[in-house]
Amino acid sequence: MDTIVQTYRLTKRFKDAEVIKPLDFTLKKGEICALIGKNGAGKSTIFKMLSGQIKPTSGDMQLFGKTGKKKARARKRMGFMIETPAFFPDFTAQQNLEYFRIQRGVVDKQRIHEVLEIVDLAKEKKKKFKEYSMGMKQRLGIALCLLSSPDCLVLDEPINGLDAEGIMEIRKLLTKLNQEKHITILISSHILTELELLATRFVFIKNGVVVDDLSKEALVDKSRKQILLKVDDPAKAARVLEQAYVDLQYQVLPDQVITIQNYAEKAGEINRLLVDSGVFVREFRTETLKLEEYFLGLVEGEQQ
């Protein structure tokens, strides 16, 4: 079965607020899929519906092609880290995982050593959880997710609060799990530059609606170049550009800056048009648009 998650018109309403609007979403085997959105966009709500913590208001969901009662069994093939796991502060990593191994009915005791090796915590045998750095705590959380040998990990903000070294460790770990252990990963984060390095697919969500869904290749293509110009009269410049290019995608930013998301190949022509139309161009350059700028334009900016 190549499809891990399939949702059909999935919704979630809390009182009068529809947090997730009809959602059709598919997660395929082998993907590292990044769910991107501002706080309150609905990312955690989607994850909690997948994990069974909350029930959808309407719609349907399949996990590994299973629905109904069979879906609960299929969910055991997934590891979830949606909120920080409640580890015992005075226990070592081994003691904490032994508690959860018994609680979750994992028969193989050797699995504890295996997952601690995978997340590079096997050498920290005597150190108690309360002495762990934030990065070590997050890695232990991932070890807990791996305890039942899942085929898919669902991770909500696993690099939140980490320093640069901790972020790099988590990125390397998740890449290794995906490439060597063939584990599918669904992840959310606010640190978009990291997702750009890690993910193979990017799903943008705003107010409970998926507003774009791109492969890595499509994102690179879509965000390849943009034109940035600083002019004396942005309103006039915008009128001139709109008349010349009907489907122009642009934004007017503070400090008399305009960014143009398409027609990068016509940069010279655009510059000459503005000058010939009496617009004083103070600065003009083409630049690569990063995921962060694309995200801001998509889910925050008022794109024209």
Domain of residue 160, CATH code: 3.40.50.300
Report d(CA 78, CA 84) in Å as an integer: 17
**Do 208 and 263 belong together in one domain?**
no
Q: Are residues 214 and 234 in the same domain?
A: no
Confirm whether 234 is domain-assigned: yes
Q: How many domains does the chain have?
A: 2
295 is a domain residue = no
Tell me, yes or no, whether 230 and 98 share the same domain: no
Same domain, 277 and 257: yes
- At 1 the pLDDT is 54
The strand pair at 257-260 and 250-253 is best described as: antiparallel
Domain boundary among the residues 180, 196, 220 is at 220
Tell whether 203 and 241 lie within a shared domain. no
List, in order, residues 6 or more apart from 191 with CB less than 8 Å away.
159, 160, 167
> Residue 276 falls within a domain, yes or no?
yes
Contact 205, 257 (CB under 8 A): no
Same domain, 178 and 48: yes
Indicate whether 296 belongs to any domain: no
Q: How far apart are CA 287 and CA 229, in angstroms?
A: 11
Domain of 273, in residue numbers: 225-287
Q: 275 and 130 in one domain?
A: no
The answer to whether residue 294 is domain-embedded is: no
User: Which helix (H) or strand (E) is 4 found in, with range?
Assistant: strand 3-14
How many other CB atoms are found less than 10 A from the CB of residue 278?
Answer: 10
- The owner of tokens 């655009």 is 270
Q: Is residue 58 part of a domain?
A: yes
- Residue 20, both tokens: 């997730």
Per-residue pLDDT of the chain (304 residues; tens, 9 = 90+): 599 999 999 999 998 899 999 999 999 999 999 999 888 889 999 999 999 999 999 999 999 999 988 999 999 999 999 977 789 999 999 999 999 999 999 999 999 999 999 999 999 989 999 999 999 999 999 999 999 999 999 999 998 888 888 899 999 999 999 999 999 999 998 778 888 889 999 999 988 999 889 999 888 776 667 889 999 999 999 999 999 998 898 999 999 999 998 888 889 999 999 999 999 999 998 887 667 777 777 766 544 3
For residue 239, the domain's CATH number is 3.30.70.100
- Smallest CA-to-CA distance from 171 within 198, 153, 135, 196 is with 198
pLDDT at 304: 38
Same domain assignment for residues 131 and 247: no
Does 240 reside within a domain?
A: yes
Does residue 17 form part of some domain? yes
Q: What phi, psi does 120 have (nearest 5°)?
A: 65, 45
Tokens of 216: 């890595």
| Amino acid sitting at position 175 | T
Cα diameter, the chain: 77
Which of 30, 27, 4, 80 is CA-nearest to residue 181? Answer: 30
Structure tokens at 53: 């913590």
H-type alpha helices, the chain: 43-51, 68-75, 93-104, 110-118, 134-146, 164-180, 192-198, 216-222, 234-244, 267-276, 291-299
> Same domain, yes or no, for 37 and 76?
yes
Indicate whether 38 and 181 sit together in one domain.
yes
Q: Are residues 62 and 156 in the same domain?
A: yes
Which tokens go with 11?
Answer: 């919704």
The reply to whether 23 and 37 lie within a common domain is yes
